């Protein structure tokens, strides 16, 4: 895939009061950063599991699109599990990329458990939500950003299971930079923040946010090991703050951001007084939001889960 662009938009800068660079992963194939990890993971499957018939994984949408796209390109099955009530447009996109889509469970973590069971039963390579090869792939957007924009003081990145934030940390460290990495979660899905602050895994009872890319209630130890040491802090933002950031991005750039993709800007706006005068980056991780929800956002509302 080609590099995605990064732009500093004057209207974003005016709204925040500092120089902001938006990394546009919404311009990637599949419309989200996860496509990078699909490429590297499936390449790894071909090398390490040459007799594999396919892969099995769970997702809320972007990860599933990336895995289905890459698996189908090399003739492998892609069995993808999603929770009931998942994004209808993301489901359609996954099927269009060749996924065998199965709806099960009430949230991502229940779907993940079923995917793990089915993978073992059907002799498919199980793709976890966090894997070194996924991190290796998604880290490339951070390499692009750091090489294009020098001397960034901080980068805000959303955290679901953690591949994105860990990829940014890996790129920062590999390049010998001192940029602060600030994770962002939803107030309604704080497992990563709670785990970061306590130093051990903290599950939450639910993850009820329309920002489905960060709607995770069970943390990943391997990811926590990395971001607990490499992140500066983790900020929680409300769904209202995320919706406001989505509107700001659309007004200022005419780009569509899904909830998780707008969360970094929401966190920067929340911390703007402390960040004045600092050169910052925000990762617009994806633009895959269902049309009815985005319509509500543009009307000034915050989508509510049924």
In a shared domain, residues 40 and 111: yes
pLDDT in tens, the chain (306 residues): 999 999 999 999 999 999 999 999 999 999 999 999 999 999 999 999 999 999 999 998 899 999 999 999 999 999 999 999 999 999 999 999 999 999 999 888 899 889 988 888 998 999 998 999 999 999 999 999 999 999 999 999 999 999 999 999 999 999 999 999 999 999 999 999 999 999 999 999 988 999 999 999 999 999 999 999 999 999 999 999 999 999 999 999 999 999 999 999 999 999 999 999 999 999 999 999 999 999 999 999 999 986
From start to end of 165-298, where are the E strands? 180-186, 233-237, 280-284
Q: Are residues 143 and 286 in the same domain?
A: yes
User: For residue 213, is it within any domain?
Assistant: yes
Choosing from 82, 108, 127, the residue where a domain stops is 127
Closest by alpha carbon to 22, among 31, 34, 13? 13
Indicate whether 303 belongs to any domain: no
Query: Are 96 and 173 within one domain?
Result: no
Q: In DSSP terms, which residues pair with 79 in a beta bridge?
A: 56, 100
Residue 284 belongs to a domain: yes
Q: What is the pLDDT of residue 306?
A: 67
Where in the sequence is the domain holding 172, given as residue range(s)?
Answer: 6-33+132-298
Angle between helix 163-174 and helix 132-148 axes, rounded to 10 deg: 50
The total number of structural domains in the chain stands at: 2
Residue 226: predicted pLDDT: 98
CA distances from 79 to 11, 65, 179 (A): 42, 11, 38
State whether 93 and 28 are in the same domain.
Answer: no
CB distance 39 to 70 below 8 Å: yes
Question: What's the pLDDT at 109?
Answer: 83
pLDDT of 129 reads 87
Dig out the tokens for 259 from the structure. 């909830």
Do 278 and 160 lie in one domain? The reply is: yes
- Whether residue 254 lies inside any domain: the answer is yes
CATH label of the domain that carries residue 84: 3.40.50.1100
Domain membership flag for residue 83? yes
Q: What is the pLDDT of residue 112?
A: 87
| pTM of the predicted model as reported, rounded to 2 decimal places | 0.95
Shared domain for 216 and 86, answered yes or no, is no
The reported pLDDT for the residue numbered 279 is: 98
Whether the CB-CB separation of 285 and 213 falls below 8 Å is answered with: yes
Inside any domain, residue 1: no
Whether 170 and 40 share a structural domain: no
Q: How distant, in Å, are the alpha carbons of 14, 184, 235, 238, 248 from that of 276?
A: 11, 19, 17, 22, 18
């Amino acid at each position: 895939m080609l590099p995605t662009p990064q732009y500093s938009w004057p209207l974003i800068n005016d709204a925040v009061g500092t120089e902001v660079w938006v990394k546009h992963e919404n311009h990637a194939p599949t419309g989200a950063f996860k496509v990078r990890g699909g490429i590297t993971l499936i390449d790894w499957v071909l090398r390490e599991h040459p007799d594999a018939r396919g892969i099995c994984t769970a997702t809320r949408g972007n990860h599933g699109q990336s895995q289905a796209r890459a698996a189908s390109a090399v003739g492998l099955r892609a069995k993808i599990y999603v929770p009931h009530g998942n994004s209808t447009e993301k489901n359609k996109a996954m099927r269009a990329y060749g996924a065998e889509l199965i709806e099960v469970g009430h949230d991502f973590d229940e779907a993940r458990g079923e995917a793990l069971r089915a993978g073992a039963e059907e002799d498919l390579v199980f793709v976890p939500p966090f894997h070194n090869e996924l991190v290796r792939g998604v880290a490339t957007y951070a390499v692009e950003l750091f090489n294009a924009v020098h001397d960034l003081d901080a980068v805000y990145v959303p955290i679901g299971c953690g591949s994105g934030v860990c990829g940014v940390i890996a790129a920062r460290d590999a390049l010998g930079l001192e940029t602060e990495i600030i994770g962002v979660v939803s107030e309604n899905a704080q497992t990563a923040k709670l785990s970061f602050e306590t130093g051990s895994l903290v599950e939450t009872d639910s993850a009820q946010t329309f920002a489905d890319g960060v709607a995770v209630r069970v943390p990943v130890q391997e990811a926590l090991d990395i971001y607990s040491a490499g992140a500066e802090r983790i900020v929680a933002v409300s769904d209202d703050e995320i919706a406001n950031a989505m509107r700001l991005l659309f007004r200022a750039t005419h780009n569509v951001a899904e909830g998780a993709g707008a969360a970094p800007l929401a966190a920067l706006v929340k911390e703007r007084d402390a960040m004045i005068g600092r050169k910052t980056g925000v990762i617009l991780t994806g633009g895959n939001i269902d049309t009815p929800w985005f319509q509500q956002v543009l009307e000034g509302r915050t989508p509510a889960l049924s």
